[in-house]
Amino acid sequence: MRRNRSTKIVATLGPASGTPEVIGALFDAGVDVFRLNFSHGTHDEHRVRYDVIRAIEQERKRPIGILVDLQGPKLRVGTFADGKIMLKAGQGFRLDLTDKPGDETRAPLPHPEIFEAISPGTDLLLDDGRIRLRVEKVRGKVAETLVITGGPLSNRKGVNVPNAVLPVSALTDKDRRDLRFGLDIGADWIALSFVQRPEDVAEARKLIEGRAAVMVKLEKPQAIERLQEILDLTDAVMVARGDLGVEMPPEDVPGLQKRIVRACRVAGKPVVVATQMLESMVQSPAPTRAEASDVATAVYDGADAVMLSAETAAGAYPREAVEIMNRIIAKVEQDPLYRPIMDAEHSQPEHTAADAISAAAAQVSQTIGAAAICTFTTSGSTTLRAARERPTSPILGLTAHVGTARRLAVLWGVHWVLTRDIRSFSDMVERARKLAVQEGFARSGDRIVITAGVPFGTPGSTNTLRIAWVE
């Protein structure tokens, strides 16, 4: 089950992809990590999908990552007496905390935290940005607004407050229940929605207690302003472009995507580019050329993974979406321009012995034309450092810990193999040779580069580099 590409694929499961047959077909088509979206579905449905993934993992003998994506707070207007109203640009419109159904002049907004955060001049975006209101006055729990962009507005449409930090936790009561469930079934990643500040990440990490890795979804402008602080606390990042595109001008999102990917590569943290990548394939068996270019851009930028959402969760062509994404990635990575672009974005290694070894392994492997870089790892840090260098040789991640392999299935360029702990240098070299051949990376006469930490089995102690001939 070796992939012919380095960039990984994350796919969301849902009504269109909940059966063992479809999940198996998605994995065979190229999925490396499955996303369970807790904005939809019941715990029982997610448990069944989890069990199916683990059964496929056993059958295919290849570690598969599972990402539990928490919903986060959902801010919505209340209801209207007639179910729907029409707002016109230039009219006044009141928002308040009363329970009375709304009409053409006012609407209930059952979120006191919004009234605490807004002030005159604040913009409110309703219904995914289709309606824009500008706050003119705030009196207690009443806000007088001016309609800047009008249109129809119906019951319980979403509200975004792009230019204010809301006094609300990123974890609702529902999220806490979902988090406990996700950890209990054995999720590898927990994705956090609605992150506004580093404290949101710290709160989640305290609850998770190391039982899963943390992936922050960057979807709020406030989080971008504190990107480096958040990067220091998280294990990975998802660029949630759909939500960013609501709260920021659409022309800002492409450059921001590049900035985030670049920052993650410098920090050595996996980064996933997500949302609307092949959106037309929800109904169509083929993507638009613009969508293919969008996927390609993320690959050229050096993202660790690209993600499918509705395309595989609710679309009519889930398997085809994965197959096409797989083909686009493979084609880009074979492009003669791909390597120069990747090298141009390469960052300097950190000033540590482990990073020096990893940088040297990438350089040595390119100089001698190594068939593979074999990394022995316990926690995954050795392999993370190897992937950060974006080497020209494929990376063979060798570990005795299935949890490490599952968690880092999202990592660029790594093919994971489960093997027992090594006991000596000779054991290390012999095992690397054998597995490189067994997994189809090397043949007799090839050379491989091996990195590990001594004492063996000590997390984070990468300090050894060996070159070995395959016999």
CA distance 262 to 277: 19
Q: Residue 55: CB partners within 8 Å, gap ≥ 6?
A: 20
- Please report the DSSP string for 276-331 in residue order: STTGGGGT-SS--HHHHHHHHHHHHHT-SEEEESHHHHT-S-HHHHHHHHHHHHHH
Q: Minimal CA–CA distance to 436: which of 448, 445, 425, 428?
A: 448
Beta-carbon-side half-sphere exposure of residue 387 (alpha carbons within 13 Å): 31
- List the beta bridge partners of residue 138: 143
CA distance 337 to 292: 17
Phi-psi sector, 442: left (phi>0), alpha (psi -120 to 50), beta = beta
Q: Residue 52: CB partners within 8 Å, gap ≥ 6?
A: 19, 20, 23
The angle formed by the CA atoms of residues 68, 380 and 205, to the nearest 5 degrees, is 45
CB–CB of 118/143 below 8 Å?
yes
CA distance 342 to 7: 12
The angle formed by the CA atoms of residues 434, 436 and 440, to the nearest 5 degrees, is 115
Q: Minimal CA–CA distance to 372: which of 435, 329, 423, 304?
A: 435
| Burial zone of 43 (CB within 10 Å; 0-12 exposed, 13-18 middle, 19+ buried) | middle
CA distance 402 to 332: 30
CA distance 143 to 384: 49
Neighbours of 19 (CB within 10 A): 13
| E-state strands within 111-249 | 123-126, 131-139, 142-149, 151-154, 159-160, 189-192, 213-218, 236-240
Q: Is the dihedral of CA 312, 316, 322, 324 positive or negative?
A: negative
Catalytic center residues: 35, 76, 217, 275
